[in-house]
A and B are shown apart, each in its own frame.
Chain A
Amino acid sequence: MRITSVAQARAAYHDRNTSDATVWTQQVAIGPHGVVSRYTYTVPAGRKALVASAYARWRRVTVAAPVGKITLFLNQGVGSGMNADIHNLLNTVDAIESISGPGGLFMGPASGVVCNTGDLGTGGTCDYSATHFITEFDA
């Protein structure tokens, strides 16, 4: 008796039922606020995800009096790495700060990303925009 098997190549991640799981936020002329979660994403069971890149941009719309700490955080992983962080006291109209976060992180089930903003000033408004470009696929 001879039994033969044929080695089976597994499809690459990008051919395993991929879907776009990109998350983003765009907040326009927002006044002072405590830390607020703008979006979260969690990898579902049976799936994995690749963070291709992350981007965050902040802009001062009207001045604060007095200015307080501005924060725009992008985190990825479970309570781990911060991959983009804007943190300033700029108080000039049209002051802009932006940052691109690194991509390439593969996340397993229950891992994910978070975007938080905060403005501890008094008065004044700011724009906040951020995104994580995410591709999700079968584990």
Chain B
Amino acid sequence: MSVDSSALPAGATVAQYLTKKWGIKTRLVPLSVVAVLTTPTRVVKNNPRRFALIVVNNGTGSVFVGWDNGVTISNGLPLSASGGSITLLADEDGELTCGEMIAIAAAGGNNLSVWEVESL
């Protein structure tokens, strides 16, 4: 699929660049805050339009993430407390970027801030 990047405003250079690179216009999805439980908790749904994802742990305890409901505090990717984060980009991480992400924590009370970039 090709997009006419000249349809974008002249100053929107990043948008023009990404449109050429990815072949489609994208947008920043508004912030989502997810309270992680001690049971598998969905961070983001499966979204085949997602190009990028940033998840930041703002809680005081570690959070562990994975891509299915089998994630535990032993096998998940650890996001350390007070700022641990994971960044996914379609160019580097392929399908991991758009798959459903699940998180779990040893104790409740840890919030994740989630930002996504998806195609329009």
A residues touching B (Cβ–Cβ < 8 Å)? 1-6, 8
A8 touching B82, Cβ below 8 Å:
yes
* B84 interface residue (CB < 8 Å to A): yes
A1 touching B88, Cβ below 8 Å:
yes
Please name all residues of chain A whose beta carbon is closer than 8 Å to the beta carbon of B96 when the two chains form the complex.
1
B83 touching A3, Cβ below 8 Å:
no
**How far is B88's CA from A4's CA once the two chains are assembled, in angstroms?**
12
Name which residue of chain B comes closest to A4, CB basis.
B85
* B87 interface residue (CB < 8 Å to A): yes
Chain B: interface residue count, which band?
A: 10 to 19
**How far is B96's CA from A4's CA once the two chains are assembled, in angstroms?**
17
A-B contact count (CB 8 A): 32
**How far is B108's CA from A85's CA once the two chains are assembled, in angstroms?**
52
B82 touching A3, Cβ below 8 Å:
no
Please name all residues of chain B whose beta carbon is closer than 8 Å to the beta carbon of A1 when the two chains form the complex.
86-89, 92-93, 96
Please name all residues of chain B whose beta carbon is closer than 8 Å to the beta carbon of A8 when the two chains form the complex.
80-82
* B77 interface residue (CB < 8 Å to A): yes
Name which residue of chain A comes closest to B94, CB basis.
A1
B93 touching A5, Cβ below 8 Å:
no
B93 touching A4, Cβ below 8 Å:
no
**How far is B57's CA from A8's CA once the two chains are assembled, in angstroms?**
13
Contact among B86, B89, B92 with A3 in the assembled complex (CB-CB below 8 Å): B86
27 contacts between A and B (CB under 8 A): A1-B86, A1-B87, A1-B88, A1-B92, A1-B93, A1-B96, A2-B85, A2-B86, A2-B87, A3-B77, A3-B79, A3-B84, A3-B86, A3-B87, A4-B83, A4-B84, A4-B85, A4-B86, A5-B80, A5-B84, A6-B80, A6-B81, A6-B82, A6-B83, A6-B84, A8-B80, A8-B82
